[in-house]
Amino acid sequence: MAKIKIEVKQFFRDQKNSFFRFLRLVKKEFRLVRTDPWNLLIALVLPPAIIALLSTMESQKIEFSPLPVAIVSNDSNSYVNPNNFTNLAIDNYTKPYINAVVKSFYLFPKAIYNASKFPYSMELARRQLLNAEIKCIIVIPVDFTEMLANGLPGLIECVPDSSRITDIQKNLNAVYDSIKIFTNENNLTPQIRLAPFTPFSIPEDYDEDFSSTLVLVIPLMVYGIANVLTILIIVKEKPIARLLLTPVKRSEILLAKYLTFSAILFVQELGIILAAVFGGLFIRGTIINLFIAVYTLAYSGLSVGIFISAASKTKTEANQLFLASFVVIILLSGSFVPIENMPIYLQAISYVLPLSHGGPMISAILSKGASVFGFHFYMLLAVSLVLNILTFIVFLRRRYEV
């Protein structure tokens, strides 16, 4: 009995010693961080500064002007005089559509071609598109009038200038306006009306560009900086070998690093969110949700960073691993190519990468007011946990020689 008592006492004494050693290791970590002002600058000053800088940029106000288009009519039932728009055919729908284009506030018909009379109409229109004289070719098909007269949909083909992806939708919307006018005036059904979902739209008193930019910038910045901060913390600390010849345990050294850098990231995320809120970021969800989301993503970045540091033998190796992993993580994050469109094996990889979950999670909180506690959050936690376990295994097996 007495022996058990002594052993229990010894156990608690050991735990107490271990705890105090751990606290002092944390202190040492903070001291080391303090000796590297550049790291501190990257961690605490740079992210809020970038957000503040973005918030000061004025949104570009574009003066509206109607979209120049060319209409190529292949409708065999009609003949349209380009000078006075008179037609010679009976039961004709081409002219009403051209009228709708003229009436549309968003379109300016720069040229109208009758392809049934001029075989090179489409070629001429294409040349205009190439020369940037027009932004879109509207092609009326051969059986347009006939189809509509028989109550069938007469499909209008739209060939937009696709050199700027962001402009394609604008072009299509403008063409759609002419179709809307045409169907209204000719009592054609069905009529479609595009309307944004107001609960998801950014209110007018917020800067739309700033808010939509931050949806992309925050996840990248938070993850990237957490990575940069931590990729060298084990590999560059040579005296660990000597520390291991004292009663300190490897797990205490590693935990001290996790705690120290988690605390630094906590301050960093506070700074980022404050800068974003003061900069005018529209947050549909709660700030607490946003903070938890951002912090979870940062923690996953830290987990990847410390894993790289524990697994690398040299600083160069750690830097190379960081770069390779960062590029892959960004490319497979779904920001460039939707994850659903990737081959199945890439999808599998993509779903275990932090940014694939961090981006959508933050975006949903900012623009849809979603709760942080969803699939992406738990996936991020799971990924971080697995990485933490792997890091411990790698670090405990890491060879140190004094």
57: left (phi over 0), alpha (psi -120 to 50) or beta: beta
Q: Shortest distance, CB of residue 257 to another protein, whole angstroms? A: 14
Decide: 358 and 380 in contact? Cβ < 8 Å. Answer: yes
Q: Which is nearer to another protein, 20 or 120 (CB)?
A: 20
Instruction: Give the pairing type, strands 157-160 and 136-140.
Output: antiparallel
Report which of 105, 188, 97, 103 is spatially closest to residue 150, judged by C-alpha positions: 188
- Number of residues in contact with another protein under rule CB under 8 A: 23
Q: Single out the segment in contact with another protein by CB under 8 A; choices: 27-35, 65-73, 335-343, 355-363.
A: 27-35
340: left (phi over 0), alpha (psi -120 to 50) or beta: alpha
- Which position among 6, 8, 15, 17 is part of the footprint of another protein (CB under 8 A)? 17
Q: Shortest distance, CB of residue 308 to another protein, whole angstroms? A: 21
In whole angstroms, what is the distance from residue 351 CA to residue 281 CA? 28
31 scored as a contact of another protein (CB under 8 A): yes
20 scored as a contact of another protein (CB under 8 A): yes
Q: Which is nearer to another protein, 23 or 382 (CB)?
A: 23
What six digits make up the tokens of 123?
A: 């070629």
259 scored as a contact of another protein (CB under 8 A): no
- Which position among 9, 164, 242, 315 is part of the footprint of another protein (CB under 8 A)? 242
Q: Shortest distance, CB of residue 291 to another protein, whole angstroms? A: 32
Give the three-state DSSP class for 218: helix
Sheet holding 107-114, edge to edge: 107-114, 67-73, 136-140, 157-160
Q: Single out the segment in contact with another protein by CB under 8 A; choices: 22-30, 65-73, 115-123, 361-369.
A: 22-30
Q: Which is nearer to another protein, 19 or 118 (CB)?
A: 19
Decide: 302 and 226 in contact? Cβ < 8 Å. Answer: yes
Q: Shortest distance, CB of residue 18 to another protein, whole angstroms? A: 10
Q: Single out the segment in contact with another protein by CB under 8 A; choices: 28-36, 56-64, 345-353, 360-368.
A: 28-36
243 scored as a contact of another protein (CB under 8 A): yes
36 scored as a contact of another protein (CB under 8 A): yes
Question: Does an H or E element contain 52, and which?
Answer: helix 46-56
- Which position among 9, 24, 103, 368 is part of the footprint of another protein (CB under 8 A)? 24
239 scored as a contact of another protein (CB under 8 A): yes
Decide: 379 and 351 in contact? Cβ < 8 Å. Answer: yes
The angle formed by the CA atoms of residues 202, 206 and 209, to the nearest 5 degrees, is 75
241 scored as a contact of another protein (CB under 8 A): yes
- Which position among 2, 90, 245, 344 is part of the footprint of another protein (CB under 8 A)? 245
What six digits make up the tokens of 255?
A: 């935990």
Q: Single out the segment in contact with another protein by CB under 8 A; choices: 19-27, 108-116, 126-134, 195-203.
A: 19-27
Decide: 170 and 64 in contact? Cβ < 8 Å. Answer: no
59 scored as a contact of another protein (CB under 8 A): no
In whole angstroms, what is the distance from residue 189 CA to residue 148 CA? 10
User: E strands within 115-201?
Assistant: 136-140, 157-160
Residues that bind another protein (CB under 8 A): 17, 20-21, 24-25, 27-28, 31-32, 35-36, 238-239, 241-243, 245-249, 401-402
